[in-house]
Amino acid sequence: MARGFVIDFKGKCVVVTGGNRGIGLAISKAVAQAGASVAIIYRSSKDADQVASNIGKEFGVKTKAYKCDVSDADLVNKTFTKIDDELGPITGLVANAGVSVVKPAIEMTTDDFNKVFTVNVLGVFNSARAAAKLWIDRKHQGGSIVITSSMSSQIINQTGANEPLTQIFYNSSKGAVSNLCKGLAAEWAAHNIRVNAVSPGYVDTDQTAGMDENIRKYQANNVPLKRFAKPEEMTGQTVLLLSDYASYMTGGEYFVDGGQLIW
Protein backbone atom coordinates (compact mmCIF):
# COMPACT_ATOMS: atom_id res chain seq x y z
CA MET A 1 0.00 0.00 0.00
CA ALA A 2 1.30 3.48 -0.89
CA ARG A 3 2.31 5.52 2.13
CA GLY A 4 1.70 9.23 2.59
CA PHE A 5 -1.09 11.73 2.36
CA VAL A 6 -1.64 12.21 -1.36
CA ILE A 7 -3.93 14.76 -2.96
CA ASP A 8 -4.33 13.93 -6.64
CA PHE A 9 -6.46 16.35 -8.72
CA LYS A 10 -5.90 14.56 -12.05
CA GLY A 11 -9.12 14.88 -14.08
CA LYS A 12 -10.32 17.85 -11.98
CA CYS A 13 -10.75 21.43 -13.15
CA VAL A 14 -10.50 24.30 -10.68
CA VAL A 15 -11.46 27.95 -11.33
CA VAL A 16 -9.46 30.50 -9.31
CA THR A 17 -10.75 34.08 -9.38
CA GLY A 18 -7.89 36.54 -8.94
CA GLY A 19 -5.66 33.56 -9.72
CA ASN A 20 -3.01 35.54 -11.58
CA ARG A 21 -1.24 37.19 -8.64
CA GLY A 22 -0.87 37.20 -4.87
CA ILE A 23 -2.66 34.52 -2.86
CA GLY A 24 -4.67 33.42 -5.92
CA LEU A 25 -1.51 32.79 -7.95
CA ALA A 26 -0.09 30.59 -5.18
CA ILE A 27 -3.39 28.65 -5.14
CA SER A 28 -3.41 28.31 -8.96
CA LYS A 29 0.08 26.81 -8.79
CA ALA A 30 -0.80 24.48 -5.91
CA VAL A 31 -3.87 23.00 -7.63
CA ALA A 32 -1.89 22.67 -10.89
CA GLN A 33 0.88 20.89 -8.99
CA ALA A 34 -1.75 18.46 -7.67
CA GLY A 35 -2.72 17.75 -11.31
CA ALA A 36 -5.86 19.85 -11.96
CA SER A 37 -6.58 21.97 -15.02
CA VAL A 38 -6.73 25.58 -13.88
CA ALA A 39 -8.88 28.45 -15.15
CA ILE A 40 -7.57 31.78 -13.93
CA ILE A 41 -10.07 34.63 -13.77
CA TYR A 42 -8.64 38.15 -13.66
CA ARG A 43 -9.94 41.66 -14.18
CA SER A 44 -7.31 43.78 -15.93
CA SER A 45 -3.71 42.56 -15.50
CA LYS A 46 -1.80 42.53 -18.78
CA ASP A 47 0.27 39.40 -18.06
CA ALA A 48 -2.47 36.94 -17.01
CA ASP A 49 -2.21 34.89 -20.26
CA GLN A 50 1.52 34.52 -19.74
CA VAL A 51 1.06 33.61 -16.06
CA ALA A 52 -1.44 30.87 -16.99
CA SER A 53 0.78 29.55 -19.75
CA ASN A 54 3.81 29.40 -17.41
CA ILE A 55 1.85 27.42 -14.82
CA GLY A 56 0.67 25.00 -17.52
CA LYS A 57 4.23 24.42 -18.70
CA GLU A 58 5.66 24.08 -15.20
CA PHE A 59 3.15 21.47 -14.02
CA GLY A 60 2.10 19.82 -17.31
CA VAL A 61 -1.62 20.64 -16.98
CA LYS A 62 -4.15 22.60 -19.07
CA THR A 63 -4.41 26.24 -17.98
CA LYS A 64 -6.06 29.32 -19.41
CA ALA A 65 -6.67 32.91 -18.28
CA TYR A 66 -10.16 34.41 -18.63
CA LYS A 67 -10.71 38.18 -18.39
CA CYS A 68 -13.92 38.63 -16.41
CA ASP A 69 -15.08 41.17 -13.86
CA VAL A 70 -16.65 39.02 -11.13
CA SER A 71 -19.12 41.77 -10.25
CA ASP A 72 -20.87 41.27 -13.64
CA ALA A 73 -23.25 38.33 -13.10
CA ASP A 74 -24.03 37.71 -16.80
CA LEU A 75 -20.39 37.77 -17.79
CA VAL A 76 -19.51 35.43 -14.91
CA ASN A 77 -22.18 32.92 -15.98
CA LYS A 78 -20.96 33.03 -19.61
CA THR A 79 -17.32 32.71 -18.57
CA PHE A 80 -18.00 29.66 -16.35
CA THR A 81 -19.90 27.97 -19.21
CA LYS A 82 -16.95 28.67 -21.53
CA ILE A 83 -14.46 27.31 -18.99
CA ASP A 84 -16.62 24.22 -18.49
CA ASP A 85 -16.54 23.60 -22.28
CA GLU A 86 -12.85 24.37 -22.78
CA LEU A 87 -11.13 22.97 -19.66
CA GLY A 88 -13.90 21.28 -17.70
CA PRO A 89 -16.01 19.84 -16.40
CA ILE A 90 -15.37 22.29 -13.56
CA THR A 91 -15.08 20.47 -10.22
CA GLY A 92 -13.90 23.23 -7.88
CA LEU A 93 -13.94 27.00 -7.41
CA VAL A 94 -11.71 29.24 -5.33
CA ALA A 95 -13.57 32.57 -5.06
CA ASN A 96 -10.53 34.60 -4.13
CA ALA A 97 -10.68 37.96 -5.98
CA GLY A 98 -10.91 40.83 -3.50
CA VAL A 99 -10.18 44.54 -3.17
CA SER A 100 -9.87 47.12 -0.42
CA VAL A 101 -10.15 50.88 0.03
CA VAL A 102 -8.06 52.31 2.85
CA LYS A 103 -9.11 55.68 4.24
CA PRO A 104 -10.79 56.97 7.39
CA ALA A 105 -14.45 55.92 7.79
CA ILE A 106 -15.54 59.55 7.89
CA GLU A 107 -14.22 60.05 4.33
CA MET A 108 -15.63 56.88 2.77
CA THR A 109 -18.07 57.36 -0.15
CA THR A 110 -20.84 55.33 -1.73
CA ASP A 111 -18.45 54.64 -4.62
CA ASP A 112 -15.94 53.20 -2.13
CA PHE A 113 -18.68 50.98 -0.68
CA ASN A 114 -19.70 49.79 -4.15
CA LYS A 115 -16.10 49.21 -5.21
CA VAL A 116 -15.48 46.89 -2.25
CA PHE A 117 -18.84 45.13 -1.89
CA THR A 118 -19.43 44.45 -5.60
CA VAL A 119 -16.18 42.44 -5.73
CA ASN A 120 -15.80 41.00 -2.21
CA VAL A 121 -19.45 39.99 -1.68
CA LEU A 122 -21.40 40.17 -4.96
CA GLY A 123 -18.39 38.87 -6.94
CA VAL A 124 -18.04 35.87 -4.62
CA PHE A 125 -21.78 35.22 -4.86
CA ASN A 126 -21.79 35.51 -8.69
CA SER A 127 -18.86 33.09 -9.00
CA ALA A 128 -20.28 30.58 -6.50
CA ARG A 129 -23.72 30.64 -8.15
CA ALA A 130 -22.27 30.21 -11.65
CA ALA A 131 -20.41 27.09 -10.51
CA ALA A 132 -23.37 25.75 -8.53
CA LYS A 133 -25.71 26.23 -11.53
CA LEU A 134 -23.48 24.04 -13.68
CA TRP A 135 -23.28 21.37 -10.98
CA ILE A 136 -27.01 21.41 -10.21
CA ASP A 137 -27.97 21.36 -13.93
CA ARG A 138 -25.55 18.49 -14.55
CA LYS A 139 -26.91 16.52 -11.58
CA HIS A 140 -23.46 14.98 -11.14
CA GLN A 141 -21.49 14.43 -7.97
CA GLY A 142 -21.40 18.05 -6.76
CA GLY A 143 -18.37 20.26 -6.22
CA SER A 144 -16.33 22.24 -3.72
CA ILE A 145 -16.22 26.03 -3.33
CA VAL A 146 -13.58 27.73 -1.22
CA ILE A 147 -13.97 31.45 -0.54
CA THR A 148 -10.95 33.54 0.44
CA SER A 149 -12.36 35.64 3.27
CA SER A 150 -10.11 37.25 5.91
CA MET A 151 -9.45 37.20 9.64
CA SER A 152 -11.06 40.62 9.49
CA SER A 153 -14.41 38.83 9.21
CA GLN A 154 -13.98 38.43 12.99
CA ILE A 155 -11.76 41.28 14.12
CA ILE A 156 -11.15 44.82 13.00
CA ASN A 157 -7.67 44.91 11.52
CA GLN A 158 -6.24 48.23 12.50
CA THR A 159 -4.13 49.68 9.69
CA GLY A 160 -3.02 52.80 11.56
CA ALA A 161 -0.31 52.34 14.21
CA ASN A 162 -1.05 55.52 16.14
CA GLU A 163 -4.74 56.03 15.50
CA PRO A 164 -7.34 53.47 14.41
CA LEU A 165 -7.80 53.27 10.63
CA THR A 166 -9.81 50.19 9.85
CA GLN A 167 -10.67 49.74 6.13
CA ILE A 168 -14.26 49.82 7.32
CA PHE A 169 -15.91 48.53 4.13
CA TYR A 170 -13.30 45.80 3.64
CA ASN A 171 -13.82 44.51 7.19
CA SER A 172 -17.60 44.59 6.81
CA SER A 173 -17.44 42.88 3.40
CA LYS A 174 -15.41 40.01 4.85
CA GLY A 175 -17.89 39.63 7.73
CA ALA A 176 -20.65 39.48 5.12
CA VAL A 177 -18.89 36.93 2.94
CA SER A 178 -18.20 34.60 5.85
CA ASN A 179 -21.93 34.53 6.58
CA LEU A 180 -22.70 34.18 2.86
CA CYS A 181 -20.53 31.06 2.94
CA LYS A 182 -22.68 29.49 5.66
CA GLY A 183 -25.92 30.33 3.82
CA LEU A 184 -24.75 28.88 0.51
CA ALA A 185 -23.43 25.77 2.29
CA ALA A 186 -26.86 25.25 3.85
CA GLU A 187 -28.79 25.77 0.58
CA TRP A 188 -26.56 23.61 -1.60
CA ALA A 189 -25.69 20.76 0.77
CA ALA A 190 -28.53 18.72 -0.73
CA HIS A 191 -26.69 18.92 -4.09
CA ASN A 192 -23.43 17.74 -2.49
CA ILE A 193 -21.91 21.18 -3.05
CA ARG A 194 -19.59 22.08 -0.19
CA VAL A 195 -18.86 25.74 0.59
CA ASN A 196 -16.12 26.78 3.00
CA ALA A 197 -14.05 29.89 3.69
CA VAL A 198 -10.33 30.24 4.32
CA SER A 199 -9.49 33.40 6.22
CA PRO A 200 -5.90 34.62 5.99
CA GLY A 201 -4.13 36.96 8.37
CA TYR A 202 -1.61 39.41 6.89
CA VAL A 203 -0.02 38.10 3.70
CA ASP A 204 2.75 39.71 1.64
CA THR A 205 0.98 40.59 -1.63
CA ASP A 206 0.22 43.73 -3.66
CA GLN A 207 -2.69 44.34 -1.26
CA THR A 208 -0.34 44.85 1.69
CA ALA A 209 2.64 46.23 -0.30
CA GLY A 210 1.56 49.85 0.13
CA MET A 211 1.50 49.64 3.93
CA ASP A 212 3.58 52.14 5.84
CA GLU A 213 6.72 50.39 7.14
CA ASN A 214 6.02 51.36 10.78
CA ILE A 215 2.47 49.98 10.57
CA ARG A 216 3.79 46.78 8.99
CA LYS A 217 6.26 46.30 11.86
CA TYR A 218 3.58 47.10 14.41
CA GLN A 219 1.16 44.60 12.83
CA ALA A 220 3.77 41.87 12.40
CA ASN A 221 4.65 42.27 16.07
CA ASN A 222 0.99 41.64 16.98
CA VAL A 223 1.03 38.27 15.21
CA PRO A 224 2.10 35.42 17.54
CA LEU A 225 4.36 34.07 14.74
CA LYS A 226 5.82 37.61 14.47
CA ARG A 227 5.66 37.96 10.70
CA PHE A 228 3.35 38.29 7.69
CA ALA A 229 2.69 35.10 5.69
CA LYS A 230 3.96 34.23 2.25
CA PRO A 231 1.17 33.60 -0.31
CA GLU A 232 2.24 29.94 -0.54
CA GLU A 233 1.34 29.51 3.15
CA MET A 234 -2.32 30.12 2.20
CA THR A 235 -2.55 27.12 -0.13
CA GLY A 236 -2.64 24.06 2.16
CA GLN A 237 -6.05 24.63 3.72
CA THR A 238 -7.63 25.58 0.37
CA VAL A 239 -6.28 22.51 -1.42
CA LEU A 240 -7.47 20.30 1.44
CA LEU A 241 -10.99 21.79 1.27
CA LEU A 242 -11.11 21.25 -2.50
CA SER A 243 -10.13 17.61 -2.05
CA ASP A 244 -12.15 14.54 -1.13
CA TYR A 245 -10.36 14.47 2.25
CA ALA A 246 -12.77 17.29 3.15
CA SER A 247 -15.90 15.45 1.97
CA TYR A 248 -17.64 16.01 5.33
CA MET A 249 -16.59 19.66 5.70
CA THR A 250 -19.01 22.42 4.72
CA GLY A 251 -20.07 25.83 6.03
CA GLY A 252 -16.80 26.28 7.93
CA GLU A 253 -14.39 29.19 8.19
CA TYR A 254 -10.74 28.25 8.70
CA PHE A 255 -8.19 30.79 9.90
CA VAL A 256 -4.63 30.79 8.57
CA ASP A 257 -3.40 33.77 10.54
CA GLY A 258 -0.16 32.98 12.38
CA GLY A 259 -2.20 32.77 15.59
CA GLN A 260 -3.50 36.34 15.38
CA LEU A 261 -6.99 35.42 16.62
CA ILE A 262 -5.55 33.97 19.83
CA TRP A 263 -5.78 37.46 21.29
Give the range of 39-47, 51-59, 107-115, 239-247 binding ligand NDP by CB under 6 A: 39-47
Known active-site residue 153: no
In terms of CB distance, is 21 or 142 closer to ligand NDP? 21
* Residue of 30, 87, 119, 121 that binds ligand NDP (CB under 6 A): 119
Residue 256 in the binding site for ligand NDP (CB under 6 A): no
Known active-site residue 150: yes
Residue 28 in the binding site for ligand NDP (CB under 6 A): no
* Residue of 9, 59, 169, 202 that binds ligand NDP (CB under 6 A): 202
Beta carbon of residue 185, minimum distance to ligand NDP (angstroms, whole number): 18
Residue 18 in the binding site for ligand NDP (CB under 6 A): yes
How far apart are the C-alpha atoms of 71 and 169, rounded to whole Å?
Answer: 16
* Residue of 77, 81, 158, 208 that binds ligand NDP (CB under 6 A): 208
Residue 49 in the binding site for ligand NDP (CB under 6 A): no
Known active-site residue 170: yes
Give the range of 37-45, 109-117, 134-142, 178-186 binding ligand NDP by CB under 6 A: 37-45
Strand 13-17 with 92-95, pairing:
parallel
Applying the rule CB under 6 A, the residues between 219 and 248 that interact with ligand NDP are none
- The string of DSSP codes covering 216-252 is HHHHHHHSTTSSPBPGGGGHHHHHHHHSGGGTT--S-
- Options 42, 170, 202, 254, the catalytic residue: 170
Beta carbon of residue 131, minimum distance to ligand NDP (angstroms, whole number): 15
In 118-142, which positions are buried (b, 16+ CB within 10 angstroms) versus exposed (e)?
Answer: bbbbbbbbbbbbbbbebbbeeeeeb
Q: How many residues bind ligand NDP (CB under 6 A)?
A: 30
Kind and range of the H or E run holding 199: strand 193-200
- Cis ω before 200 (30° cut-off from 0): no
In the chain the first and final C-alpha atoms are separated, in Å, by 43
Alpha carbon 198 to chain centroid, angstroms: 8
Strand 37-42 with 13-17, pairing:
parallel
Nearest to 77 by CA among 35, 36, 30, 127: 127
Query: For residue 190, with 0-12 CB atoms within 10 Å meaning exposed, 13-18 middle and 19 or more buried, which class applies?
Result: exposed
How far apart are the C-alpha atoms of 136 and 10, rounded to whole Å?
Answer: 22
Residue 45 in the binding site for ligand NDP (CB under 6 A): yes
Tell me the per-residue interface mask from 129 to 168 with ligand NDP, x by CB under 6 A, - otherwise.
-------------------x-x------------------
Beta carbon of residue 110, minimum distance to ligand NDP (angstroms, whole number): 18
Residue 24 in the binding site for ligand NDP (CB under 6 A): yes
The residue ranges that bind ligand NDP (CB under 6 A) are 17-18, 20-24, 41-45, 69-71, 96-99, 119, 123, 148, 150, 200, 202-203, 205-208
As annotated, the active-site residues are 150, 170, 174
